[in-house]
Structure 1
């Protein structure tokens, strides 16, 4: 499908773009920069029709990251959205897929959405509205007023609540939801949050690092539906432990980066660098 917005000039900060570069996209949102939607998918051919039919026609591009599917995931995506950009995932895991997808995007705003039919693409306008209005990072929440979920067991809900409380206490955040994969953000955020994990815990990592970077975060009420076809790869205990390790390891991550920088200073600039 063709885009109804004009890509911003390369290299410019999206917040510095003149509004005249953006065109009206709906009665709810007067202007919007180019929006790239990243969809990690592995064997989701049956679910993609439900995902794609909810995506707004004004989206700049759809980036499908294929995790070596053995079904018709790629063929179905190309049939549903002829201009889809397909990225073949080399590694494994959701975090790895998202990193590859973000690198392939050309839009000013990046939206991450699951391929199982649990997220409603019609909500994207709310995320983009928050970003255009001044937020750096629009974070979906199933527990904010107006949100909801059809796909969370009591044990998962308890675990999410506990982990969310730990993040809020440790990093000064005020999240109502932590482990949710429906988010949107300006491209410039990637320069301030180093993504270096491969699994489902990538969502928690992003939520922590946007707070540590001092970025403006706005929660967006979102409704999570049941997966339509197939079985989720999410495992509550296993992935909960991985999320906890990310939370506990974040402070040491910052210290390690500071120490690496300190060790480089005495040696002066490296080849290709300017002091």
Structure 2
């Protein structure tokens, strides 16, 4: 079991001699302290290098376990599907616009426990679709322009019981997927959004973007009483059956914040935010910082006061009626 408190507590661990390999940390002792079981009864789990990086801002939240050293070099496969998912089918949905180089990296180290990867090609002019298909992904064409439009199509084609969403630019860590899923399963979360602010690779986010994100975070709190450290994060993990309940109107970049607003304002859904490691992107950014930031802020106000309209047809309503819709043939 990967305990959520340990994860939030900067992935606190205790080294165990003779377990794993040099340079790696395992946490049976820390796990034992939480569960009350003897150390020998706690299953040792080797942590991936990225998971072992201290996330300093979460160090006071957990149970006070010592953090792994930040200079761990060794890398190993994290967890296998038979240890984590208990019969649940996992889909990863990735929207792409000219991400030929980034999608290679994303798909090359996708955990083997993922059942399917759905890549939504949103009017790419490079070889994104060809590369993704050659690496085993299902490629869906979406000609409507926009981040949200691509995600709506991808979610409607995904067949998993649990959906993982991330970008195709290699900024979000695929190695975190198994841990996020196990925490979701153990703690019975319906929706997890990921926080990039705990630890960023050098070059992953400028000062102005971080400032803009903070403004949007506070706006979401003031307007919706939803408190997130990273309201604009593009990595989420959620149970597919909750989608038909969401009234999503945005086809653009505001889709990300709107999805979170819909999830966190449903009082009967169990939603949380967990930290991840965030990398510098591969390829050219498609974001216009000032334009997209202003539009996202404006959208929050419009939605709050009923000026954003409502979806004439809820984009995911069909999923509750006809699951076979997600098995449509890939357009070539």
TM-score, normalisation: structure 1:
0.77
Residue 137 of structure 1: aligned partner: 191
2:243 pairs with one of 184, 190, 193: 190
Residue 223 of structure 1: aligned partner: 277
Which whole-Å CA distance do the structure 2 matches of 1:40 and 1:59 have between them? 17
> What is the CA distance between 1:148 and its match in structure 2?
3.1
CA RMSD of aligned residues (A): 1.9
Change (3 A) 1:113 1:256: closer
User: 3-state SS of the aligned residue for 1:46?
Assistant: helix
Higher mean C-alpha deviation, range 170-179 or range 97-106? 170-179
Q: Report whether the alignment pairs 1:25 with 2:81.
A: yes
> What is the CA distance between 1:180 and its match in structure 2?
1.0
> What is the CA distance between 1:157 and its match in structure 2?
0.6
Deviations along 1:163-216, whole A, 9 cap, x unmatched? 101212322222111111011111122122122211111111111111222222
TM-score, normalisation: structure 2:
0.65
Q: Report whether the alignment pairs 1:71 with 2:123.
A: no
Deviations along 1:209-256, whole A, 9 cap, x unmatched? 11222222111211221112x211111110111111221122233996
1:156 pairs with one of 209, 213, 226: 209
Structure 1 unaligned blocks of 5 or more: 1-23, 258-275
Change (3 A) 1:247 1:26: same
Change (3 A) 1:255 1:179: closer
Q: How does 1:71-110 map to 2 (within 5 A)?
A: 71-81=126-136, 84-110=137-163
Residue 242 of structure 1: aligned partner: 295
2:123/2:145 contact within 8 Å kept? no
Aligned pairs, number: 228
Which whole-Å CA distance do the structure 2 matches of 1:189 and 1:254 have between them? 24
Residue 227 of structure 2: aligned partner: 174
Structure 2 unaligned blocks of 5 or more: 1-79, 311-332
> What is the CA distance between 1:127 and its match in structure 2?
2.3
1:35/1:111 contact within 8 Å kept? yes
Deviations along 1:40-75, whole A, 9 cap, x unmatched? 112211222210122111211110100122221112
2:120/2:139 contact within 8 Å kept? yes
